[in-house]
Chains A and B, each alone.
Chain A
């Protein structure tokens, strides 16, 4: 089964953990506990293919920014999350994206831009159009989600899997011919 290394990035409190836990365990975490680093594994079927997602939920808190380079180096696909209720979390993504491109040294990195907490429409400060135009600029997929109301949560990860598939189709694994490893 193919493995997909997915990294969830974004400022503190935007709902990275809530989205991840909702996707993996189908629970909404009400309480806010700043993440240090959590990794999850979940098997899903995307377009008839079994995939093993290895999701790294990262810390949005500023102290941990030094870790990001490493996350970006190891990740294959990235979820960039902001909260539609906080402008600054939206502004922070520009730098994150630049850092990813720099670390990956390519313009073509599987990525989804996510505006979370769309159930809090009355507290919205970042318009949907703004999100769309940023996604346009990033040349990546965009969706508004709610971990609480279970809106578009699975789609984030499915879309990312498809993007990774498209960018690097699985190499037809050659049947290990007779002796792949030789014990001496």
Chain B
């Protein structure tokens, strides 16, 4: 019974601590743990609680937990209204069962610590539910049916024991919930009554016995009075009972009435509910129908092709403007319909698939119409223009903008074909290319033939000039190219002059300038007409959204195809490149013969002018480097040609180098100016005329350096080879020539070589003078060399004259060997010799003669100075003075 006490205690505490505060009353409590939470052994209390009846009592189920921190603090964890309880399961009928389940918003499984608490709790709960819940009540399963009867288990127990004391005890402890409901605090009135009673008997405290006696006496009196009044009122009571019986009968009648009403109402309610359900169903169905309608309407409008358009597709009229317009409009509608955005589920509809098949048929049919029509048109254009006689002999490339204009109205049809039928599109492109290629082929060949004729015309006329002027047939036949540095000019083959080169250059410019707009115009047309600036998404023969297929997969594949493997940082760049390449390929097909014709044309210069590569290089470079569209067909064609020309240029220069190295000394009495030195002037002037203002100067200067170096080397090598001309003269004259030439050219890159030429020339001049002038007063020179030896041995200069071999007499003897007349004669001979060595062209005789005069004067001054030093005061002099020398030199120079 300890547990009962404990529970009573708990109940008391809970009431006091928790429920009184909120004006509630605890009806029953069971100490539980959650069975699924074995660990948390702390007890919870599941309570049935009612509000104190101010109006209508509200009973609820409530879970309370003891606070973790403080022993005597409790918390309400959760509350449920009774009608939230779906069912209660006692697990089995055994009395000693601990578990029970309550289905609320979820299933709670409880473990009651004390079975008797559980019993009480379940009974109270059942009763309260029966009493308070309207409508569907919780079902109690597996619970002894006795518990669920009216009587509370305690009452039964109490009745069984007959222990009144316990029963009395229950009033303030383990009382039934009804008593609890009636248990109220003393009302004010009762309190005052009681107070009054106590105050009347204030002796009671002193004399309890007396008080009890008085009370029992009073009670006795009251009992007596009571019995009397009861007896008196029996008649009334009987009447009252009768009334009550009547009332009850009436009430019963009324009740049956109400019941029947309720029945009716219940029926109505049921019907209403059924109707409501039906209504909701109808609404849903309606909504679905509307949605379906919308969806269908969408599909139908999307897939509908008006009759007029069907006609336009089935029997298109491409001849009139209106017809083309209608056809394009219909075709675009078809395309739109075939690519309409329809859910893939709907695509499985047979009607949609049927429509698709119809579309497919229209598409194919229309595509065939276009194909046939455009095909004919392209071929017709090709034939028509191809048959037109070429009009003029002027060097103009015909413009075919009229072709483009006549095709322009069909542009959108081509775009349609590209999107809808790639195969036909590709086929049409081929036919177009073939037809137009024929035209351009003819145009270009004719154009280049005219251009070539203009070159050979010039050739002929210049040849005639040549023949007329020189009458040397031999030269015309010579195989040595004109301008070859290492070969004497009279052995050159025929060539052209700079005026001709200017004309050729102008002709080339004209040709290039004619090509550019024509190619550009065709390219622009093709890009637009064939919509080449858009990459077609699929390699396969196009596809529409109406095909039930994983199109996303296809798309991604085509995308990766466009931008392969590597994580290319610029996919756009790749796409652009693909477009460029496609356009270029098309242009290549159209202008098939352009490159070979251009190369042949440029070659035609070669036959006339060995220097052609110079100005063609410059001219073509201008066109290639200034190109806006660096990867266009024309730019790249020109660039390839330019590389060829550059190679020809380099090999021309290499030949020039070779010719210098292999050149032979001219077979003449004087070496004179060597052919490559002589020719270099003309060569450099020609090259400068072409390259002076060009961007390609660097290419030329690179060769200048090599050529001039080769020239210097070869001069030095060959200077020894001439049988008569001394090597000093060969070098002097040729370096002098090179020097003056380079000075005149003013090429900055050659400044170093210019300086070197000057040094080499001066060296050669000095060497020549030293060698050939020698010492005309040789014996005097030898005499003083002896003097110098003595001086070196320690003889004083003033005492030299006392030496036997160097006496004044001896000196006079030597001097007398060089009389003025003899000296002049010797100089005259020398002059003749020099004259024989030097060539007239370079005109260095006076320079050399002057250098010799200087040399002579220097030697004279030296001797005079020695005489004055060693034979001072002896009054010895040479037999001629400086003035005489100057007169000799000028006389000799003048007389020749």
Contact = CB atoms under 8 A, between A and B. Distances in A.
Nearest to A91: B569
Contact of A36 (B627, B636, B646, B702): B646
A129 interface: no
Interface in A1-51: 31, 33-34, 36-39
A63 B569 contact: no
A37 B696 CA distance: 12
B646 A63 contact: no
A67 B646 contact: no
B698 A36 contact: no
Interface string B563-597: 00010111000000000000000000000000000
A37 B630 contact: no
Given A33-B695, A39-B650, A91-B569, A66 B640 contact: yes
Contacts of B647: 37
Contact of B621 (A36, A38, A62): A36
Nearest to B574: A95
B566 A94 contact: yes
Contact of B698 (A33, A63, A94): A33
SS of B interface (majority): helix
Contacts of B569: 91
Interface string B600-631: 00000000000000000100010011010011
A136 interface: no
A62 B650 contact: no
Contacts of B568: 94
A74 interface: no
A125 B699 CA distance: 32
A62 B646 contact: no
Given A33-B698, A36-B621, A39-B650, A64 B570 contact: no
Contacts of A34: 625
B638 A63 contact: yes
Contacts of B696: 33
B650 A63 contact: no
Interface in B627-654: 627, 630-631, 635-636, 638-640, 642-643, 646-647, 650
Contacts of B627: 63
Given A37-B647, A61-B630, A62-B630, A67 B640 contact: yes
A99 interface: no
A65 interface: yes
Nearest to B584: A66
Contacts of B624: 63
B566 A36 contact: no
Interface in B532-574: 566, 568-570
B639 A63 contact: yes
Contacts of B642: 36
Given A34-B625, A36-B621, A91-B570, A66 B695 contact: no
Nearest to A64: B639
Contacts of A63: 624-625, 627, 630-631, 635-636, 638-639
Contact of B639 (A33, A38, A66): A66
A66 B630 CA distance: 12
Contacts of A66: 636, 639-640
A34 B636 CA distance: 15
Contacts, number: 50
B695 A37 contact: no
B616 to A, nearest CB: 12
A29 to B, nearest CB: 8
Nearest to A94: B566
Contacts of B621: 36
Contact of A37 (B625, B635, B638, B646): B646
Nearest to A29: B698
Nearest to A21: B702
A65 B631 contact: yes
A31 B568 CA distance: 33
Contacts of B698: 31, 33
A149 to B, nearest CB: 22
B570 A36 contact: no
Nearest to B638: A63
Interface string A70-101: 00000000000000000000010010000000
A36 B640 CA distance: 10
Contacts of B702: 38
B579 to A, nearest CB: 15
A33 B698 CA distance: 7
B566 A64 contact: no
Nearest to A12: B630
A37 B643 contact: yes
A64 B625 contact: no
Nearest to B645: A36
A36 B631 contact: no
Nearest to B569: A91
A64 B631 CA distance: 9
Nearest to B568: A94
Contacts of B639: 59, 61, 63-64, 66-67
B686 to A, nearest CB: 21
Contacts of B631: 62-63, 65
B91 to A, nearest CB: 73
Contacts of A31: 698
A31 to B, nearest CB: 7
Interface centre among A34, A36, A39 (most CB of B within 10 A): A36
Pick the most buried of B635, B643, B646: most chain A CB atoms within 10 A of its CB. Answer: B643
B661 to A, nearest CB: 16
Contacts of B630: 61-63
Interface in A90-119: 91, 94
Nearest to B617: A36
Nearest to A137: B566
A38 to B, nearest CB: 8
A63 B617 CA distance: 15
Given A33-B695, A33-B698, A66-B639, A61 B625 contact: yes
A42 to B, nearest CB: 14
Contacts of A62: 630-631
Given A31-B698, A34-B625, A36-B621, A67 B570 contact: no
Contact of A64 (B617, B643, B650, B695): B643
A63 B698 CA distance: 20
Contacts of B625: 34, 61, 63
A94 B566 CA distance: 9
A91 B627 CA distance: 23
A116 to B, nearest CB: 19
A37 B647 CA distance: 8
Nearest to B620: A36
A27 to B, nearest CB: 11
19 contacts: A33-B698, A37-B647, A38-B650, A38-B702, A59-B639, A59-B643, A61-B625, A63-B625, A63-B627, A63-B631, A63-B635, A63-B639, A65-B631, A65-B636, A66-B636, A66-B639, A67-B639, A67-B643, A94-B566
Given A37-B643, A63-B631, A91-B570, 7 more contacts: A33-B695, A36-B617, A37-B647, A63-B624, A63-B630, A63-B638, A65-B636
- Among all A-B residue pairs, the 3 with the closest Cβ atoms: A63-B639, A62-B630, A36-B646
